[in-house]
């Protein structure tokens, strides 16, 4: 797994991967901050604030 700096709890943490059907979400295990969330095959990636910042096809 990847380690990331969480801007909310100000720590370097091991990101937690949550898969719900085709939706994949990477969150901070300490505070629950969403690093990234995307839907496989949908082409829309959302950042922590829910802002859509990039469109591309994600295939698995």
In a domain, 60, yes or no: no
Confidence at 2, pLDDT banded by 50, 70, 90: confident
In a domain, 20, yes or no: yes
Q: pTM for the complete prediction?
A: 0.67
- Contact in structure between 22 and 39 (CB atoms under 8 Å): yes
Confidence at 57, pLDDT banded by 50, 70, 90: low
Domain that holds residue 47: 3-55
Distance CA 38, CA 19 (A): 10
Q: What is the pLDDT of residues 15-56, one digit of tens each?
A: 999 999 988 999 999 999 999 888 888 766 666 655 544 455
In a domain, 7, yes or no: yes
Q: How many domains does the chain have?
A: 1
């Amino acid at each position: 797994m990847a380690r990331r700096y969480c801007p909310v709890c100000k720590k370097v943490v091991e990101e937690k991967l949550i898969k719900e059907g085709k939706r994949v979400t990477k969150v901070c295990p300490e505070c629950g901050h969403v690093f990234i969330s995307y839907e496989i095959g949908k082409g829309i990636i959302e950042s922590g604030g829910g802002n859509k910042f990039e469109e591309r096809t994600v295939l698995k």
